[in-house]
Amino acid sequence: LFTLILTVFIIHSVQGILQDSFRIITGETLDYKASLLIMNNIQDLVSRSGGAIKSVEARRLSSFYVVNIDVYLDPETTLREAYKLRRKIVKRVAGLSDTFYHVDVRFYPQPAYEMESKGRALYYAGERARRRR
């Protein structure tokens, strides 16, 4: 009898884990309204620092949210400025709702491209341009 009860419990637990994994893979845990709310609230912080928002994902875990924010920054931004921006973003997102349990902010260098201008190759990253060495 004990073995039967234990087997049923294990099967039930595995089923729950597989169900949660399937929800994560199919994107059912993403909350688009919360993601949009966060993006609209941090847009000014990021743009003032010369960056751009790459993506915002708010995933529901039971009654809480785990938030992932990806931000493009100028490659010449100092670590101090990046950490200050991260701290401001986390503070602002945590102030929006008590249900935002974990906020993860990742920085990426801004996409760059080259352009010929009057015979010289210029390297663009954001609004700054400099001659390529």
Q: How many domains does the chain have?
A: 1
pTM score: 0.68
Within a domain: 67: yes
- pLDDT tens figures, 6-63: 999 999 999 988 887 777 776 676 788 999 999 999 999 999 988 999 999 998 887 8
Within a domain: 70: yes
Element (H, E) at 86: helix 79-96
Within a domain: 4: no
Pairing of strands 64-73, 100-109: parallel
Q: How many CB atoms lie within 10 A of CB 86?
A: 17
Tokens of 122: 């210029």
- Domain containing 105 equals 29-131
